[in-house]
Structure 1
């Protein structure tokens, strides 16, 4: 039985809207034609058409249609004509409840209830007023409640759909921001890795060429250092691009650079021709790995700039001071800079250093020192990320 009703509903739902909307008026007209005597047909057919016709526009103007149907029903009551087409009143009430607010629904329901009382007083058989009155009232309340429920349910679904669209849009925006941040991170890492290692390799190559005839042993050592520097660069690049798996041997040979690796960095710079001294003050075991990586990259970039832009004989000094809340980084050198370089810096090195420092609430100062040479200074704040002057 239930499957049969479901099949009927599916077939009806597939019909065009015009056909579905005309089913009820056609059935009511057939009822009038088959049940009314010939002398009552003109009046009955006219009232049936006039009651049902306004329902065509009920979704566009629900209150107006309800008023028109109620007016026709009042005339029908005055002429003492009973028709099944009075169901149009319930349809109009449902439409008001579906498309209007609660106040309009209550007003329409009160009007319909008053009409129901008048209808029961006139057409109740054998003076039995209560039974038809209760039945009419129950239908009016049920139709009004159904319309309000459907309207509320539709509004809820619309709100849920709107929220889902908003969340999806926000998710897409967050994804785009994350992608942009990741691209910036990778670009910054690639710049630091490539610039530093290539600068060291160029310096070592020059030293090897210079020493190949006078001191073949030193040339061989320089070439081996070039090879090791290249492998280190490849490992750092693979790690930054997220391609290095934890189980691979390189992950154990080359851990994530940090403060502990600054000594190795200094040795590398010394081998490239830049004597570098590390002065580490305070314990750094409590410093997060990401902050240690930032310190390492800041020192690496500063030393790379010194190696690239200063003459032979320049010395560099790195001082790292760690406390429970901050890490202070100072990189100074004794070499002069070209006048143009002392006033403006090109490329992405200094900009990348400022971004790294800003991630930990610090500002970076880079420029010539009063006593000569060049200095880079910043302070990283481990407890927060607010921008604080270093």
Structure 2
């Protein structure tokens, strides 16, 4: 029988313990029936079967089965006088005792030992002490109980190990699911920022080209050239963003950072929005993650200027670097209508999540000193990237 066949057999036997116990009882009957005397009739054989029969239910009711086996063995020995040369009834009682030690309550072992030991001691010392037989019976009794307890302890230990392994596996799967959810949220934010910004720039350029097509074909051609350039940059950023989902290696392509802000602002200016930039202080050693967060916040704020600020809006980007942090402010003088701005949309939510990852916050709303909109973000990154 191969390994697969043996494994299938063990699985079948584990699913049908009653069948295993019935087979054990039948084997004990065949082992003990050979010791019957030739003159013993069918009554002796039926009594032998009656003593072994309760073993079929030994795992389900270990204590009642022991008392049934023990009581029937004594009754048959006294009433029918079935006494065999060999291991009857010791073998049947030993199996029932082992079952109690392995499956039954441990407190039940005390009355069982008393019930077996007291009659045995009385019988052994009735006609004079027989220390050899007494020692053999005591050793066999102790060995049977200890074997059952040892197997029981081992099974409990293995069950605990299996439960611990399953628990660790569930925790690992849960951590993996949380990591996947976090990565999906990150990709969703980046996709939104990239697509929304570049499409807004392309729409503004296309509108300008359509407006200038009749009066200034050169300006229209230049605007469409910028549309093409912006589209290619958007495709390149999308490939760079989605590359880790497709590649087998764990490395990620470089993401934009503080050094790429000038290129971002140049594209917005090419779309027709006048943008002024003010920088104060020097960036800290924060790593690429904080630089990416600042870049995406500025990108989203300028995208909102393109979409909601109106055709003549001007914007100002202010970056104030401090010890341990940075303050980003993007304001414009465009449409003052609050309903026209994304007060609780995906863009502002994404900016708030990026700032919160570095201990900061985001404020977005109408300007208090005139028409337009203002986005102010504070980040408090340290020298470590967030987990």
Q: Same fold (TM over 0.5)?
A: yes
For residues 203-247 of structure 1, give each alpha carbon's deviation from its aligned partner in whole angstroms, at most 9, with x where no partner exists: 122233344455554444333322221121111111211258799
Change in CA separation of 1:149 and 1:384 when aligned onto 2, cut-off 3 Å: farther
Structure 2 equivalent of residue 330 of structure 1 = 329
> Is 1:363 aligned to 2:361, yes or no?
yes
Give 1:185-334 correspondences, 5 Å limit: 185-212=186-213, 214-243=215-244, 255-334=254-333
3-state SS in 2 of match to 1:336: coil
1:121 and 1:21 mapped to 2: Cα distance? 32
User: In terms of mean alpha carbon deviation, does 70-79 or 260-269 score higher?
Assistant: 70-79
Q: CA RMSD in A?
A: 3.4
- Of the three residues 348, 351, 370, the one matched with 1:350 is 348
1:384 and 1:51 mapped to 2: Cα distance? 79
Change in CA separation of 1:284 and 1:61 when aligned onto 2, cut-off 3 Å: same
Structure 1 equivalent of residue 3 of structure 2 = none
For residues 295-336 of structure 1, give each alpha carbon's deviation from its aligned partner in whole angstroms, at most 9, with x where no partner exists: 111110011001111123321112222334322221111112
2:276 and 2:119 mapped to 1: Cα distance? 100
Contact 1:109 1:144 in 2 (8 A): no
1:70 and 1:81 mapped to 2: Cα distance? 14
Distance apart, 1:371 and its partner CA: 0.8
Q: What stretches of structure 2 of length at least 5 have no aligned partner?
A: 1-5
Change in CA separation of 1:234 and 1:351 when aligned onto 2, cut-off 3 Å: same
Q: Could you tell me the TM-score, scaled by structure 1's length?
A: 0.80
Q: Could you tell me the TM-score, scaled by structure 2's length?
A: 0.81
Structure 2 equivalent of residue 388 of structure 1 = none
Structure 2 equivalent of residue 142 of structure 1 = 143
> Is 1:117 aligned to 2:118, yes or no?
no
> Is 1:67 aligned to 2:70, yes or no?
no
Distance apart, 1:370 and its partner CA: 1.1
3-state SS in 2 of match to 1:59: coil
3-state SS in 2 of match to 1:241: helix
Distance apart, 1:377 and its partner CA: 1.6
2:344 and 2:356 mapped to 1: Cα distance? 20
2:37 and 2:274 mapped to 1: Cα distance? 112
Change in CA separation of 1:100 and 1:381 when aligned onto 2, cut-off 3 Å: farther
Change in CA separation of 1:383 and 1:132 when aligned onto 2, cut-off 3 Å: farther
Distance apart, 1:122 and its partner CA: 5.2
Give 1:41-190 correspondences, 5 Å limit: 45=45, 48-75=48-75, 82-83=83-84, 84-121=88-125, 129-190=130-191
Higher relative contact order (CA 8 A, sep 6+): 2
